[in-house]
């Protein structure tokens, strides 16, 4: 196995590790509640505070560009997340437990932006699009399989707190693989196989944000965060409670299925990536909005899988497009895009919650469809699609 293939394997393994971290938060939530007995309003703090940590990591990454080699920063992220995941098995205090999740979230944020940047450095052209979609498809597969693996391990007698040790062990394996692949690449080619980037001042960042398609991509990804965060948080509730349907959980499963299929199919077609970005959200939003007036759980499930088949590859394709436009600044491109996605996701849940309380969640679903359409309309211009 050459250094490029070894590095690719390590990067894909790292994204699986990240998927397992997100999955274990939900899979062990009941055990955590039973052990710590937090108030109901504080039961979801592990996800909330790890997201805060990830946002802090993304902000700091802007100022670390060019100052710390990307592979070293990714290794730091893995060490931070693996170390504090390991420590999660120890606290007797819920406050300490949540604080460890916050610190682990910092490592998670570095992993999120750096893995995509490194893949963009390794591959170019249509191959880069395919590998970026495969990377994010792998994350989805990991997210789906990890809860099953966790449930199996608990059923065979593994204590829930020991699962943190197993997850941390996976992280330490990825650290070793990344270190070996980086050293192997340097030994073979006498240079880094992952591109280095120049230091950036705030003025440099402001100029970069205005370059090419990037300003349109980051605004579109903000709206993507709004509608994807809304679907993640409210789709099951809408189908189960508002529509009084038994298909709530199935609707969410169909959403993940559509996203996975989209990320597999899109890079294997002849559709130009930029053309796809400018149309996918429009078709997805129209399909989603048409289904709402029927007030049927079954029809909503069908609409969800069809709409996600349309928009599911937008994140990896946006990352690929941004990195292709600025090959010397891929870390900046991936970081600013993930930052906008995170902000959109953070705002979506309270927005939809306010709409449900005020005029009904049905109108919040319409808004999700509108956000899909807006995301592609923003990208439907010459600077993104070309003349």
- Which one of 197, 231, 246 terminates a domain? 197
In this structure, is residue 387 part of a structural domain? Answer: no
Please check whether residues 105 and 224 belong to one and the same domain: no
**Would you say 106 and 80 are in contact if contact means Cβ atoms under 8 Å apart?**
yes
**Would you say 182 and 14 are in contact if contact means Cβ atoms under 8 Å apart?**
no
- Which one of 170, 197, 224 terminates a domain? 197
Stronger pLDDT, 42 or 352, i.e. the higher one: 352
pLDDT tens-digit series, residues 193-233: 566 677 888 888 988 898 889 999 999 999 999 998 888 87
As a whole number of Å, the end-to-end CA separation of the chain is 42
Residue 73: domain span: 3-197
Please check whether residues 219 and 175 belong to one and the same domain: no
> CA 94 → CA 26, 60, 90, 101, 294, distances in Å?
16, 27, 11, 11, 44
Please check whether residues 173 and 190 belong to one and the same domain: yes
Query: How far out from the chain centre does Cα 160 lie?
Result: 25
Q: What percent of the chain has pLDDT over 70?
A: 96
Please check whether residues 167 and 232 belong to one and the same domain: no
> Tell me, what's the pLDDT at 197?
76
> Tell me, what's the pLDDT at 192?
54
Please check whether residues 43 and 74 belong to one and the same domain: yes
Mean pLDDT, the chain, integer: 89
> Tell me, what's the pLDDT at 387?
47
In this structure, is residue 123 part of a structural domain? Answer: yes
- Give the position of tokens 């692949």: 181
In this structure, is residue 181 part of a structural domain? Answer: yes
In this structure, is residue 78 part of a structural domain? Answer: yes
Q: Which of 90-94, 177-181, 248-252, 372-376 has the highest mean pLDDT?
A: 372-376
pLDDT at 248 over 90: no
Structural domains in the chain (count): 2
> Tell me, what's the pLDDT at 102?
94
Please check whether residues 110 and 169 belong to one and the same domain: yes
List all residues 6 or more positions away from 222 whose beta carbon is below 8 Å from its beta carbon.
340, 341, 343, 344
State the CATH number of the domain containing residue 361: 1.20.1250.20
Cα angle at 344 between 358 and 174, to 5 degrees?
Answer: 135
- Which one of 142, 168, 197 terminates a domain? 197
**Would you say 277 and 318 are in contact if contact means Cβ atoms under 8 Å apart?**
yes
> Tell me, what's the pLDDT at 189?
46
Torsion of the alpha carbons at 132, 10, 114 and 275, rounded to the nearest 10: 0
């Amino acid at each position: 196995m050459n250094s490029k293939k070894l590095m690719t394997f390590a990067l894909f393994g790292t994204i699986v590790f990240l998927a397992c971290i997100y999955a274990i938060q939900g899979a062990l939530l009941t055990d955590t509640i039973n052990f710590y007995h937090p108030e109901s309003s504080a039961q979801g703090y592990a996800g909330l505070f790890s997201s805060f940590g990830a946002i802090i990591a993304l902000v700091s990454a802007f100022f670390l560009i060019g100052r710390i080699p990307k592979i070293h920063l990714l290794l730091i992220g893995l060490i931070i997340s693996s170390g504090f995941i390991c420590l999660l098995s120890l606290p007797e205090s819920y406050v300490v437990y949540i604080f460890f999740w916050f610190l682990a979230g910092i490592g998670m944020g570095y992993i999120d932006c750096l893995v995509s940047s490194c893949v963009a450095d390794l591959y170019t052209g249509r191959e880069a699009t395919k590998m970026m979609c495969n990377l994010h498809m792998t994350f989805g597969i990991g997210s789906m399989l990890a809860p099953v693996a966790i449930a199996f391990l608990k059923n065979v007698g593994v204590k829930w707190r020991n699962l943190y040790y197993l997850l941390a062990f996976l992280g330490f394996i990825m650290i070793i693989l990344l270190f070996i692949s980086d050293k192997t690449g340097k030994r073979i080619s006498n240079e880094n196989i992952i591109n280095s980037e120049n230091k950036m001042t705030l003025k440099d960042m402001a100029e970069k944000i205005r370059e090419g398609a990037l300003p349109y991509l980051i605004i579109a990804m903000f709206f993507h965060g709004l509608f994807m965060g809304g679907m993640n948080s409210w789709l099951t509730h809408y189908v189960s409670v508002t529509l009084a349907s038994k298909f709530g959980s199935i609707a969410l499963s169909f959403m993940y299925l559509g996203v996975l299929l989209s990320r597999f199919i899109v890079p294997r077609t002849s559709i130009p990536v930029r053309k796809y970005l400018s149309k996918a959200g429009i078709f997805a939003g129209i399909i989603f909005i048409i289904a709402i007036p029927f007030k049927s759980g079954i029809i909503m499930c069908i609409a969800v899988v069809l709409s996600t088949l349309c928009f599911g590859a937008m994140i990896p394709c946006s990352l690929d497009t941004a990195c292709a436009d600025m090959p010397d600044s891929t870390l900046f491109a991936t970081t600013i895009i993930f930052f906008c996605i995170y902000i959109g996701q953070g705002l979506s849940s309270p927005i939809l919650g306010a709409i449900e309380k005020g005029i009904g969640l049905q109108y919040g679903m319409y808004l999700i469809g509108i956000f899909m359409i807006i995301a592609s309309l923003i990208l439907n211009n010459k600077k993104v699609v070309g003349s």
